[in-house]
C-alpha cells in the first residue's frame, strides 16, 4: 500500500528537494502539492529537472484535499504550518513540518525568536523533534514531527557523542558554521544574488540567529542541563552544503574520541564517522541524506575539534523529513534515500 503524501508550499528549495526524493521513493504516492502564488503552474515548468517525473500542478491549499493524505509535509515559511496542523491531526493525518513552528518546546521562547504569537502552543509538548539519531523511538510513534533546522542538524550530530559521554565542558561550546546560499531559500533578496554572494565570504547573525535556541535546547537535553553555546553562521559562495567546525574544552584528557564517535554512530545509516585525521568535504554529501564527521584534537591539547558536513537541503531538510516519514510509517529507514552524492 502506497503512502499518500501531500506537500504544502512546494515552490522553495526544500519543496523541490522533497519532490525529487519522493518521486524516487517506491512507497509513496505524491497526491497534492500546494502553492498560493503558483497555482495552476505545472511543477515541472518551475523546476525543469522534474520534467517527465512529476506530473502534478500546484493547487491552492485546500483542507479537504490535504485531509485525504496520509502525511503532509509543510515546506512553508515559519508561522504557516501551525495554522493548519491542528485540523490535520484531528483528521488523522500525520504532519512533518520542515519550518520552525514546532521546534522549540516553550512558546515564549518561540515567540521571542520568531516575532509572532504561536497559534497552537498546546501542540509543542506533543511535537517530536525529528532528529532520528536522538529521538528514533519517539518519531516512530509521533503524529507531528518538527523537522530540525539545517545548522542544528550538523551541529548537534557533531557535539552529541562528546556531550553524551561527558568528556567536554558543556559551558565551552563554540559552533563556527558555514552554509551554502540555498540555506537562505529561494527568495528574491539582493544579499544572495550571485553578484553579491559569489566570490565572497561573510559571517551573519552573530548577535543572534534563530537556530541558536534550537541547538541550545537540543544540546541541553543531551547534556542534562543548560549548555553555553557560541554560534556564528557564515555564508559561503556555494549552492548546497553546511560545514560546521565545532570546538569544546575536554574534561577527560584520556578519552579516545575516535572510538567514542565510531561507537556512537556504528548503527546509524546516515552518520558516517571518517578515519582519524580526515577532513570531510561538503561535496561528499551533495544531494544525499548523510552527515560525515571527523574528530580532531590539535596538538593533543585540551580542545576537541569536530568537523561535520551535511547537505542542508537533504539531511538538513527534505531527506531528514523522509527519514522521519519512513520511521512514522514503519518503512525501512533508508527507503528512497539510497542515492549517491554527486562528485564532482
Residue 136 backbone class (left: φ over 0; alpha: ψ -120 to 50; beta: rest)? alpha
- How far is the CA of 264 from the CAs of 36, 224, 259, 273, 288, in angstroms? 44, 18, 8, 9, 21
Does the footprint of its own copies cover residue 112 (CB under 8 A)? no
Q: Is 120 a catalytic residue?
A: no
Query: What is the rounded CA–CA span in Å between residue 327 and residue 136?
Result: 8
Query: What is the rounded CA–CA span in Å between residue 224 and residue 157?
Result: 16
The residues with which 71 forms a beta bridge, in sequence order, are 5, 94
Query: What is the rounded CA–CA span in Å between residue 314 and residue 337?
Result: 9
Shortest separation between residue 29's beta carbon and its own copies, angstroms:
16
Pairing of strands 242-249, 173-179: antiparallel
Does the footprint of its own copies cover residue 267 (CB under 8 A)? no
Hey, which residues between 151 and 190 contact its own copies (CB under 8 A)? 174, 176, 178, 180-182, 184, 186-190
CA angle 2, 328, 35 (to 5 degrees): 65
Residue 185 backbone class (left: φ over 0; alpha: ψ -120 to 50; beta: rest)? left
**Cβ distance to its own copies smaller for residue 117 or 332:** 332
Asked whether the beta carbons of 91 and 69 are under 8 A apart, the reply is: no
Does the footprint of its own copies cover residue 234 (CB under 8 A)? yes
Does the footprint of its own copies cover residue 202 (CB under 8 A)? yes
Shortest separation between residue 160's beta carbon and its own copies, angstroms:
19
Spot the catalytic one: 69, 120, 150, 291. 150
- In the stretch 52-91, what mask flags binding to its own copies with x, by CB under 8 A? xx--------------------------------------
Shortest separation between residue 214's beta carbon and its own copies, angstroms:
15
Interface size with its own copies, residues (CB under 8 A): 84
Residue 177: all three cell numbers together = 558554521
Span of 46-54, 95-103, 254-262, 321-329 interacting with its own copies by CB under 8 A: 46-54
Does the footprint of its own copies cover residue 340 (CB under 8 A)? yes
Does the footprint of its own copies cover residue 204 (CB under 8 A)? yes
Span of 111-119, 138-146, 321-329, 333-341 interacting with its own copies by CB under 8 A: 333-341
Question: Among 282, 270, 291, 163, which residue's Cα sits nearest to residue 216?
Answer: 163
Shortest separation between residue 317's beta carbon and its own copies, angstroms:
12
Shortest separation between residue 194's beta carbon and its own copies, angstroms:
4
Does the footprint of its own copies cover residue 343 (CB under 8 A)? yes
List the beta strands (DSSP E) in 61-131: 71-74, 94-97, 128-129
Single residue of 3, 8, 16, 123 touching its own copies by CB under 8 A: 16
Query: What residues are labeled active site?
Result: 150
Amino acid at each position: 500500500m502506497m503512502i499518500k503524501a501531500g506537500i504544502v508550499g512546494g515552490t522553495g528549495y526544500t519543496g523541490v528537494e522533497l519532490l525529487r526524493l519522493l518521486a524516487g521513493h517506491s512507497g509513496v504516492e505524491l497526491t497534492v502539492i500546494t502553492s498560493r502564488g503558483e497555482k495552476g503552474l505545472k511543477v515541472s515548468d518551475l523546476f525543469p529537472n522534474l520534467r517527465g517525473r512529476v506530473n502534478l500542478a500546484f493547487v491552492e491549499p485546500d483542507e479537504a484535499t490535504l485531509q485525504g493524505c496520509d502525511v503532509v509535509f509543510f515546506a512553508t515559511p515559519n508561522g504557516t504550518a501551525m495554522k493548519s496542523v491542528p485540523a490535520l491531526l484531528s483528521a488523522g493525518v500525520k504532519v512533518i513540518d520542515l519550518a520552525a513552528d514546532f521546534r522549540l518546546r516553550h512558546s515564549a521562547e518561540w515567540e521571542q525568536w520568531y516575532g509572532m504569537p504561536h497559534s497552537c502552543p498546546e501542540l509543542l509538548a506533543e511535537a517530536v523533534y525529528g532528529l532520528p539519531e536522538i529521538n528514533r523511538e519517539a518519531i516512530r510513534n509521533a503524529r507531528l514531527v518538527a523537522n530540525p533546522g539545517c545548522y542544528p542538524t550538523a551541529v548537534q550530530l557533531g557535539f552529541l557523542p562528546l556531550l553524551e559521554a561527558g568528556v567536554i565542558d558543556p559551558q565551552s561550546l563554540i559552533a563556527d558554521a558555514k552554509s551554502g546560499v540555498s540555506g537562505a531559500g529561494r527568495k528574491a533578496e539582493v544579499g544572495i544574488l550571485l553578484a553579491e554572494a559569489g566570490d565572497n565570504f561573510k559571517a551573519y547573525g552573530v548577535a543572534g540567529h534563530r537556530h541558536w535556541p534550537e541547538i541550545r535546547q537540543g544540546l541541553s537535553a543531551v547534556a542534562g542541563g543548560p549548555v553555553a553555546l557560541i554560534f556564528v553562521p557564515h555564508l559561503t559562495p556555494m549552492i548546497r552544503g553546511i560545514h560546521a567546525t565545532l570546538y569544546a574544552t575536554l574534561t577527560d584528557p584520556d578519552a579516545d574520541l575516535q572510538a567514542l564517535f565510531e561507537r556512537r554512530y556504528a548503527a546509524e545509516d546516515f552518520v558516517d564517522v571518517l578515519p582519524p585525521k580526515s577532513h570531510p568535504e561538503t561535496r561528499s554529501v551533495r544531494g544525499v541524506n548523510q552527515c560525515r564527521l571527523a574528530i580532531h584534537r590539535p596538538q593533543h591539547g585540551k580542545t576537541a575539534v569536530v568537523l561535520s558536513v551535511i547537505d542542508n537541503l537533504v539531511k538538513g531538510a527534505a531527506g531528514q523529513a523522509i527519514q522521519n516519514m519512513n520511521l512514522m510509517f514503519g518503512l525501512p529507514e533508508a527507503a528512497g534515500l539510497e542515492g549517491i552524492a554527486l562528485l564532482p
